[in-house]
Amino acid sequence: MKDETRLTRLGRPHDSRGLVNPGVERGSTILAPSAAQLYDFPPGMPHYGRVGLETQSALREALSGLQGGVGCALTSSGLLANTLAIMTVVEAGGTVLAADCIYGPVRSFLLNTLPRFGVKASFFEPRMGREIGDLITSDTQAILLESPGSLTMELQDIPAITGIAREKGVTTIIDDTWSAGLTMKPLALGIDLAAQSLTKYVGGHSDLLMGAVVARDEAMAQRLQTTERAFGIHTAPDDAYLALRGFRTMALRMQRSEATSLILADWLAARPEVGAIRHPVRSDHPDHAIFKRDFTGGCGLFSIELPGWDVARSERFLDALDIFGLGFSWGGYESLAIHCDPQLKRSATAHKHDGALIRFSCGLEAPEDLIADLEKGFAAVC
Ligand SMILES: *Cc1c(COP(=O)(O)O)cnc(C)c1O
């Protein structure tokens, strides 16, 4: 079956009442049928609400099924999905090798929190492939990817990296939010743990914070579940319900956002103010060949360079926009824009771009209206 079909079928209720959606099942206590069974619940049956009831298990099944994984942990945010994946695999004395483009708060976790537990981090230039083998040492426990980087849009050569990592016994983790586990299949490309923020395209309506980690094999799924349960991680059934509702329509929304983003990118490319367009779906993206090989589609998130622009000019441009909201997150029905420069952090190599970097998340509005909005932005800076 194609993914569009699977999105409609995965995570349906297993009972015989005929409902197509699981209920919002709330509960902490689950009564045991007898005293003897208090400590011996039947296998697969939850013994306590913290581990998730019907709603969460439907969502876990849906996400794991879409990605071809064998287990899934739900988290209260995408950030926690990343940190849980990392905590699942590291031990004191180890090092995490991370792409220099990873999400800022994950970088902070690696630099500020993990060292307290004896784990170090080092960063690599994100346009990396098999050469990463030269950076792997006997201390390397995990390689953390984000492809494309969600501000700067560089791609990593995932199969090349997972190939060498496997040869050297290193676990690979990806932050896979841009593809939402739909347009790229990290586990099939050899990744061990795929983390994503469901807050973005899966949620899709800017009213939900959630994350998920999907494991590639049984051993990794066991480690993931043990770590998830050790931390007492729980997500509310109402949130799981919203995420599963978003899951049903995400292919449509992503395709529409992508189509709009390509119209806008073409229009922007013809503007004299605009330099490089950073959109992996476009053939002028430096990593487009990798995109074509590993992805079946894109989404509405891309960035542009504005040569000679400083932060003040970016702010004037953004303040003149009306339909594009100014705010963090992305993947919602409404379009957003931010200037990235104040939050770009690099340690492997200085980040090279000309002037300012502005990122757009295209929502579901008519492209003509968004273009008229951008015109207002440019009018305000000249
Ligand atoms: C938003 C985002 C996160 C964090 O997700 P939250 O659900 O907001 O915690 C992690 N990684 C990427 C790439 C993101 O865009």
Along the chain (382 residues), what's the average pLDDT of each consecutive run of 10 residues? 97 92 96 92 89 96 98 98 98 98 97 98 96 98 98 97 98 98 98 98 98 98 98 98 98 98 98 98 98 98 97 97 97 98 86 88 98 98 86
In a 10 Å sphere around its CB, with 0-12 CB exposed, 13-18 middle and 19+ buried, how is residue 364 labelled? middle
| 3 state SS of 165 | helix
- Check 60, 100, 103, 294 and give the catalytic one: 103
* Closest ligand 1 atom number to CA of residue 102: 13
Distance 340 CA to ligand 1 centre (A): 15
Look at residue 382 in the predicted model and tell me its pLDDT: 78
CA 266 to ligand 1 center in whole angstroms? 27
Per-residue pLDDT, 16? 84
Closest to 214 (Cα-Cα) out of 254, 174, 248: 174
Give the binding-site residues of ligand 1, using a 6 Å CB cut-off. 77-79, 82, 103, 146, 150, 175, 177, 197, 199-200, 209, 211, 329
Would you call 346 a catalytic residue per the annotation?
Answer: no
**Helices in 151-309 by DSSP H: which ranges?**
158-167, 218-231, 237-269, 288-294
> Would residue 15 show up in a list of annotated catalytic residues for this protein?
no
Q: Which of 26, 50, 166, 271 is catalytic?
A: 50
* Whole-number Å distance between alpha carbons of 147 and 54: 32
